[in-house]
Chain A
Amino acid sequence: MINLTVDNKEVTVEPNSTILEAASKVNVNIPTLCFSDDLTVYGGCRLCVVEVEGSDRLRPACNTRAREGMEVKTHSPRVREVRKTLFELIIASHDISCELNCLICNRQNSCQLKDVAEDIGISRMCLTPGADEERESDHSSHSVVREPNKCINCARCIRKCEEIQGVGVFAQASRGPETKVTTFKDRGMGNVECTNCGQCVVSCPTGALHEVYHMDQVWESLYDEQKHVIVQTAPSVRVALAESFGEEPGTIATGQMVAALRRLGFDRVFDTNFTADLTIMEEATEVVNRVTNNDNLPVLTSCSPGWIKYIEHFYPDYLQHLSSAKSPQQMFGAVAKTYYAENAGIDPEDLVVVSIMPCTAKKFEASRPEMNDDVDYVLTTREAARMLKSVGVDVCNLEPEKYDEMLGVSSGAGDIFGASGGVMEAAVRTAYNMITGVNLQEIEVTPVRGLEGLKSAEIPVTDDLTLKVGVAHGLNNAGIMMEKIKAGEEFHFVEMMACPGGCISGGGQPINTERSWREVREKRIAGLYDIDENKELRLSHENPKIQKLYEEFLQEPGSSKAHKLLHTEYVTRGVPGT
């Protein structure tokens, strides 16, 4: 162990700890911008510089190891002067204008520059703000917009994409003040191997990255009296939306969210969980068939559109392993525009399907030609919160209401879709029943739960069959899993989620700048398992509304009608420049 003092407080840390870690142990807050606890150290912003007794210059706390006997001063006059100048340099590198100002910025409530300004206590500027050149925004993607005029070159997006997602669409180019973050040959995010996962968005400390907004189109539809506008809400939204209204991560706000969406003017409020149950019916049927026939095993899940685009770019030879089942969002769209429209007597042309997703890639997914515009607009959790705020609704103060029944009843299996391992667990609960005719005694498949990057479990089903399943979340882990599969490791069924922790920390979720990634993820996950545990209905195949849907409309899981509406195909994309 290593003993040192930080601001005259004695602290003991593990060998190889940084000064930043030592300081946090004694509750000393050192401002940082380019640092992120889930990424490698970059040492670019230099805001965390501290004075180390005996050192001729200041040292970055994020990248300086604590040493025995070290005396660190984190807020000495010398440090504060330098920090103020540094901060001023960041601010001065941007144009403050009608286009670019805090009041209309998407990150007005979660801007880390503002946090840092407060930490540093800056109250005047000597430098005149102004950028050398206006840089064009990148609108090439269906999911994510880049506004380089707000970029501070902290490289968090670059590192997130490379280290956590294993994709690496961003790089720095040019030098000096012209240094910029860009994509391969400046092609734009929509024209490279970007998976649309949006992890760069939630990593960005400023407003330089955000989703492609669908808010205006949704407002227009809501105001249009000719249109019947229905909304679906993804599992993870209910445990995160309240954060935008000041609640703790993981706060369950299902009923309040439903009430709030009615206030916004949606004609019906439905649940993506309903079609999550439907997905399980179709996917479990497929798994059972393919396992029985030893057909292209392992089956790979297909509900994460970021993962789908990833495999299309990087492992196109394995596309036939993907389950052909559409994701819950798209199954909802397909069912809504047929079954629901018929039943409600609405011309599908006049029906607008909006989804609220924790995800930016869902925007791309909805735009895929295979999906026939079944889902018209996709709002992220953040966009939904902004829309609610702009009609004066505080989600937390509403009386809970229930989903509209027809496409709004779901099992706990649907809820846990949002957590890594949840789709697997939900599928296992139903597949077991499909094979054996009885339900699992212990329906909680705990080995596939939690934040471990790669998970696996063996589930005894019959004397002859033990189901071997794998789970990976975060695309870097998905890549590792693919390499294992390539190398011959055998699984029957593998769940892949693009985002670390699953959809609960998707690229469309509220951005929490105050807590560690881990804490936020754990709390949201706990929220989902809570919902499942407290539901009476916990098995997709027991959902009465799903049973009714098959009886009245789809016949049976895997039927030709189900195939036509609920299944899809994939595209080989490869990687540009290779």
Chain B
Amino acid sequence: MLQERKFLKGPELRDIDDYDFPGFQKALEMGPEAIVEEISKSGLLGRGGAGFPTGKKWELAYQEEGENKYIICNADEGEPGTFKDRYLLDERTLKVLEGIMIGAYTIDADTGYIYIRGEYSRQIEILEETLQKARKAGILGEDILGSNFSFDIKLVRGAGCYVCGDETSLLNSLEGMRGSSRSKPPYPISKGLYGCPTLVNNVESLACSAEILNQGAEKFASMGTEESSGTKLVSLSGDINFPGVYEVEFGSASLQEIIEDLGGGSQQGQEIKFIIPGGLSTPIVPSDNLQAEYSYEGLQQAGSSVGSGGMMVISTAQELSDILTRIARFYMDESCGTCLPCREGNKQIYRIISEAKYAGLTVDRLNLIQDIGDTMQEAARCGLGRSAQLPIGTILSEYKEELIEGGNLP
């Protein structure tokens, strides 16, 4: 029976008087270079979805020269099916704060931002209170804990735009501009917020970094597999009995075990059709592949990826055409509209799919969606556009016959 492996999870941690920031204390003793080494050694990969090595990111940001440097905690958790950052902000608030402070100290940033999803009103309240108390306690501000390091954090509330979870769009939004992606290069590490070197990390990556300094890179690296160190917070939802946020050690379980042992299996014993393992923008894993190991390499073998860890379980009780229409609608509405393949491609895919809901899907139409999807993947400007067709594309190719034959006609 699979058990949670608790590295990040723990009792509610919000009272600043009861917490002495052990990770940050350690960071101050170690100095930036040793911190970078420690994070690199841990093998932590960015938990927002892209999976870029956090240590490498910190190293690059540390090496950047600049009068002003910024650190941004990306708390714009908008990937459908993902709610693990909300848990961390709720329950492990001080770990997140600590992670930001360690990152800031490492790259020598004097200002940090938490860019938080606008709908997270409870978490916004919690953060506001936490930041205020931290300032009062001298955890933020001038000469923190007598270290000569000064740093403060501003909380910025997003305005409900999915694409702002993409770091370049987030930067535009922070600067007061329309939330649309920036062309890369330059990368935010060298030219980010207001043109200054900027480190953007996901909430979970930052909380993980704080724990890594606290508990040691070795401990983190000892968990998981060769390529996937540590644990991952999985947001489990869909047609299961116990949805929630679970911490899973990489390599310790199959998708099936996560669903059965942690999620309590499918609702009312319905047959599972497929899962979307890493947030909406990852390819589906059909039910016959649920033995896949939960790790970066395991999911890659299964044709998908860890993504944000937002695992959605879909049973046969759901209408495929409903699911397709909703996914298509989501991406159409959330495209920032800057680049043509994403703006127009998602619109056309939505049109074809919503028409097909009543008229049935033909082979021609299906191929057309595939063509548009390929074009988006090849040519879109940012990650949203490039991955938007992944769930739809994989559903269509997996259930091609069902969709074309049945057409879901009433």
The residues of A with any CB-CB pair to B shorter than 8 Å are 41-47, 49, 57-58, 60, 63, 65, 78, 81-82, 85-86, 89-90, 92-93, 126-127, 132, 152-153, 155, 171-179
Contact = CB atoms under 8 A, between A and B. Distances in A.
Contacts of A93: 344, 347
Interface in B321-362: 332-341, 343-348
Determine chain B's interface SS by DSSP, over half rule: helix
B381 A89 contact: no
Contacts of A78: 378
Contact of B335 (A58, A65, A176): A176
A47 B375 CA distance: 11
Contacts of A153: 337-338, 340, 343
A133 to B, nearest CB: 12
A115 B339 CA distance: 20
B281 interface: no
B154 interface: no
27 contacts: A43-B381, A44-B338, A44-B340, A45-B340, A46-B380, A49-B379, A60-B379, A63-B183, A81-B371, A81-B374, A82-B378, A85-B341, A85-B372, A86-B379, A89-B340, A127-B348, A153-B343, A155-B338, A174-B337, A175-B179, A176-B335, A176-B336, A176-B337, A176-B346, A176-B347, A177-B337, A179-B336
Given A172-B337, A177-B347, A179-B343, A57 B332 contact: no
B190 to A, nearest CB: 14
Nearest to B334: A176
Contacts of A58: 378-379
Given A58-B378, A85-B372, A126-B368, A43 B335 contact: no
A85 B371 contact: yes
B390 to A, nearest CB: 13
B355 to A, nearest CB: 10
Contacts of A86: 340-341, 375, 379
B400 interface: no
From A44, A60, A65, A173, residue with most partner B Cβ within 10 Å: A44
Contact of A175 (B336, B374, B379): B336
B348 A92 contact: yes
A14 B218 CA distance: 47
A315 B386 CA distance: 45
B26 interface: no
A210 to B, nearest CB: 23
B377 A89 contact: no
B102 interface: no
Interface in B179-236: 179-180, 183, 185
Contact of B183 (A43, A132, A177): A43
B395 to A, nearest CB: 20
B162 to A, nearest CB: 9
A80 to B, nearest CB: 11
B348 A171 contact: no
Contact of B337 (A45, A49, A92, A179): A179
B246 to A, nearest CB: 32
A177 B343 CA distance: 6
B161 interface: yes
Contacts of A172: 178, 180, 337-338
Contacts of B377: 57
Contacts of B375: 81-82, 85-86, 89
A560 to B, nearest CB: 53
Contacts of A127: 348, 368
Contacts of A85: 341, 371-372, 374-375
Contacts of B334: 175-176
A302 to B, nearest CB: 36
Contact of B386 (A45, A57, A92, A178): A57
A178 B337 contact: yes
Contacts of B346: 176-177
Contacts of B345: 89
B183 A46 contact: no
Nearest to B344: A89
Interface of B: 161, 163, 178-180, 183, 185, 332-341, 343-348, 364, 368, 371-372, 374-375, 377-381, 386
Given A46-B379, A57-B377, A93-B344, A175 B163 contact: yes
A92 B344 contact: yes
The 3 closest A-B pairs by CB, nearest first: A179-B337, A89-B344, A85-B375
Given A86-B375, A175-B179, A43 B368 contact: no
A46 B343 contact: no
Nearest to B371: A85
A57 B378 contact: yes
A342 B277 CA distance: 86
A176 to B, nearest CB: 5
Nearest to B184: A63
Contacts of A179: 336-338, 343
Contacts of B179: 175
Nearest to B365: A126
A13 to B, nearest CB: 17
A65 to B, nearest CB: 8
B107 to A, nearest CB: 26
From B334, B346, B378, residue with most partner A Cβ within 10 Å: B378
Contacts of A171: 178
Nearest to A174: B337
A153 to B, nearest CB: 7
Given A82-B378, A153-B343, A171-B178, A177 B332 contact: yes
Contacts of A90: 340, 344
A173 B178 contact: yes
B348 A89 contact: yes
A43 B339 contact: yes
B14 to A, nearest CB: 35
B378 A49 contact: yes
B176 to A, nearest CB: 12
Contacts of B339: 43-46
A57 B375 CA distance: 10
B252 to A, nearest CB: 30
Contacts of A45: 339-340
From B180, B183, B364, B377, residue with most partner A Cβ within 10 Å: B183
A89 B386 CA distance: 16
A30 to B, nearest CB: 13
B55 to A, nearest CB: 23
Nearest to A47: B340
Contacts of B335: 175-177
Given A78-B378, A172-B338, A177-B347, 7 more contacts: A82-B379, A86-B379, A127-B348, A153-B337, A173-B178, A175-B336, A176-B332
B352 to A, nearest CB: 9
Nearest to A177: B347
A58 B343 CA distance: 18
Contacts of B340: 44-47, 86, 89-90, 152-153
A167 to B, nearest CB: 18
A2 to B, nearest CB: 16
B381 A46 contact: yes
Given A173-B178, A175-B179, A175-B337, A132 B347 contact: yes
A338 B216 CA distance: 92
B15 to A, nearest CB: 40
A89 B341 CA distance: 7
B367 to A, nearest CB: 9
A116 to B, nearest CB: 12
A16 to B, nearest CB: 11
A421 B63 CA distance: 49
B327 to A, nearest CB: 14
A576 B348 CA distance: 38
A16 B236 CA distance: 47
